[in-house]
Amino acid sequence: MGRVFVAGSINMDVVATADRHPKVGETVAGNAVNYFPGGKGANQAVASAKLGAPTTLIGRLGRDAFGQQLRTFLAAQAVDLAHVKDTAEAHTGMAIITVADADNTIVVVPGANALVSSEDVTAVALAKGDVAVSQFEIPQATIVAFFRRARAAGATTILNPAPAIPFGKDLLDLVDILILNETELGLLTHMELRDSDDPARFVAAASALQGGSRIICITLGKRGVLALIDGQASVIAGRAVKAVDTTGAGDCFVGALASQLANGTAIRRALEYANAAASICVQRMGAAPSMPTAAEVAALLST
């Protein structure tokens, strides 16, 4: 069995709930405020670990109360923290999240995440069969160094380019599996896309990001997942559930897919598994705490 290595952000999510999102310049009354462990790197690592894959997180925390709380939480989820450093130069990363009617808005303040370095990610001992995962809440130069290290070791690389910002061919060429939603796909390909668009439109947009044997997965919420594998489009239908908080759904999908690939599962079956895991995640509040267990996903798939 391979291992999963996630290089990414670790945040404390400050989540305010309200009946609706405020318009620009408007103030609305909230219902509650909660503090949840989050950050795309931490979320993906927790999802992978809870689904049974040996998982190492590479990142940084501030030497503050949030940092201590996050380290305790992540250790309790069986995430290997040997490559998570404490730094005095910056505070622990934070995300300010508003949840209304099951949709969210997010403002991320990187803090210590911006200091994750090439030296941090090249110190890990990757091997053939491992899976290396990253996202855009740490510096891109760090991700390039991480994926070069992974490629040299024969590991599979997964990039979740979120939040969406432009990136160069030097990084894209190192990506085996690209996982993104319709908003990120639209921004990266300069196309106006909506989750209700015809699948052919997504395929046309994603073709600009293909190359070699790269797999592209487009997560479409309740519509499921559209994947381009060997140039052929595969649709994994969504599952009808009552969503409570979609904050960690994409990260759950990424972590679940990584866990299955590390376990040797074929890509299409791994996509179905990840889709099921994400459907459980959205029925709970919070990001990292909402990640399902392997038993929960197995029970859902058995029905």
Closest CA relative to residue 251, chosen from 15, 28, 38: 38
Q: Residue 2 pLDDT more than 90?
A: yes
Instruction: Say whether 209 counts as a known binding-site residue.
Output: no
Instruction: Say whether 250 counts as a known binding-site residue.
Output: yes
Give catalytic status of residue 103 as yes or no. no
Residue with tokens 């030497």: 63
- The predicted pLDDT at position 257 comes to 98
Q: Residue 111 pLDDT more than 80?
A: yes
What pLDDT, in 10s, does the model give residues 174-184?
Answer: 999 999 988 89
Q: Which residues contact 245 (CB under 8 A, 6 or more apart)?
A: 15, 99, 102, 104, 282, 284, 285, 286, 290
**pLDDT category, 197, cuts 50, 70, 90?**
confident
- The predicted pLDDT at position 131 comes to 98
**Residue 163 preceded by cis peptide, ω within 30:** yes
Q: Alpha-carbon distance 109 to 92, whole Å?
A: 9
Instruction: Say whether 63 counts as a known binding-site residue.
Output: no
**pLDDT category, 202, cuts 50, 70, 90?**
confident
- The predicted pLDDT at position 195 comes to 72
- The predicted pLDDT at position 303 comes to 82
- The predicted pLDDT at position 68 comes to 97
Question: Catalytic residue among 80, 120, 130, 251, which?
Answer: 251
Q: Alpha-carbon distance 170 to 144, whole Å?
A: 8
pLDDT, mean over the chain:
92
CATH number of 4-20+30-302: 3.40.1190.20
Q: Alpha-carbon distance 20 to 277, whole Å?
A: 27
**pLDDT category, 256, cuts 50, 70, 90?**
very high
- The predicted pLDDT at position 174 comes to 97
Residue 141: other Cβ atoms inside 10 A: 12
Across 20-24, 25-29, 99-103, 257-261, least confident range: 99-103
Q: Residue 286 pLDDT more than 90?
A: no
- The predicted pLDDT at position 104 comes to 82
Instruction: Say whether 224 counts as a known binding-site residue.
Output: yes
Entry field: residues in the chain: 303
- The predicted pLDDT at position 172 comes to 94
* CA 300 to chain centroid: 21
Q: Are 110 and 137 in contact (CB under 8 A)?
A: yes
Q: Residue 240 pLDDT more than 80?
A: no
**pLDDT category, 205, cuts 50, 70, 90?**
confident
- The predicted pLDDT at position 233 comes to 86
Q: Which residues contact 134 (CB under 8 A, 6 or more apart)?
A: 6, 7, 8, 41, 143, 146, 147, 157, 158, 159, 160
Instruction: Say whether 169 counts as a known binding-site residue.
Output: no
Eight-class DSSP state of 20 = S
- The predicted pLDDT at position 182 comes to 87
Instruction: Say whether 26 counts as a known binding-site residue.
Output: no
Q: Alpha-carbon distance 233 to 227, whole Å?
A: 6
Q: Residue 276 pLDDT more than 80?
A: yes
Query: The sheet that has 232-237: what strands, in order across it?
Result: 80-87, 55-62, 4-7, 131-135, 156-160, 177-181, 215-219, 224-229, 232-237
**pLDDT category, 241, cuts 50, 70, 90?**
confident
Q: Alpha-carbon distance 290 to 97, whole Å?
A: 15
* 0.85 surpassed by pTM: yes
Instruction: Say whether 111 counts as a known binding-site residue.
Output: no
**pLDDT category, 110, cuts 50, 70, 90?**
very high
Classify burial at 34, counting beta carbons within 10 Å of its beta carbon; exposed 0-12, middle 13-18, buried 19 or more: middle
Q: Alpha-carbon distance 31 to 87, whole Å?
A: 34
- The predicted pLDDT at position 212 comes to 75
**pLDDT category, 208, cuts 50, 70, 90?**
confident
Task: Give the mean model confidence (pLDDT) for residues 18-22.
Answer: 94
